[in-house]
Amino acid sequence: MAGSTSERGLDPESARWVTRLSGDGRERESGIRELHELLLRAAQREVRRRSATSPVNGRELEDLATQAADDATYAVLAKVTQFRGESRFTTWAYRFVVLEVSHKLGRHFWRQPRAELAEEDWERLSDVFAAPPDHEAEVRDLTRAVRRAVEDLTEHQRRVFEGVVLQGIPLEALAVRHDTTRNALYKTMFDARRKIRAHLVANGYLGHEGSEEVRGS
């Protein structure tokens, strides 16, 4: 059993949350309702923030926010006695709803079958460089060089790079597919871009101080 809120050095507001949610009776029921309302508003903000890149919209997006708030509330209640006060209680609770939104958006993305990577996906890579029309030949040459560099990535790096850069798959969806986290995929993309850039520099396509870079989401 965790110590009292005072023993854990919680700020007054966080201590109030922990006390209410760890108790019983009407006080706990009131605390749960308030927590759910708080997390629902947070979930709604989060789904709206991600709506531009989300395959979900309209009423379905609102339903997803409600489901995320429901599941986050249960998760917070299950772990409330483990709260250590390293941040405000509400900040800690928000993390649960952000994770739920990410996971639910990611799962939704794969409900429809996805087409395999096609040749035209590679042709769209030239758009990443955003070069002026009079540089088309150089861009095509650079694109072929990037494609050769991608072949030297690890299988995981290659799949993540192709998914993010060529197919435009949201990181939330890739996180579900690869059973990992958004932050881990950011690290994978960072490593992949670094390898690709090193290949381009070594083969004379970029200078060491060149600003060109293959970007992902």
Query: For residue 200, which of 155, 152, 130, 161 has the smallest C-alpha distance?
Result: 152
pTM, two decimal places: 0.57
Instruction: Name the percent of the chain lying above pLDDT 70.
Output: 74
Please give the pLDDT value at position 71. Answer: 93
Separation CA 158–CA 172 (nearest Å)? 17
* Band of residue 202 on the pLDDT scale cut at 50, 70, 90: confident
Residues of the chain with CATH 1.10.10.10: 119-202
Q: 41 or 217, which is more confident?
A: 41
Residues of the chain with CATH 1.10.1740: 12-109
pLDDT per residue over 117-159, tens digit each? Answer: 556 666 666 655 555 555 667 767 877 888 888 888 898 888 8
Question: Where on the phi/psi map is residue 132: left (φ > 0), alpha (ψ -120 to 50), or beta?
Answer: beta
The count of C-alpha atoms lying within 13 angstroms of the C-alpha of 67, restricted to the half-sphere facing its C-beta, is 15
Lowest average pLDDT, out of 16-25, 41-50, 159-168, goes to: 159-168
Domain 12-109 coded CATH 1.10.1740 = yes
Please give the pLDDT value at position 66. Answer: 93
Structure tokens at 34: 């308030």
- Which fold does the domain 119-202 belong to in CATH? Arc Repressor Mutant, subunit A (1.10.10)
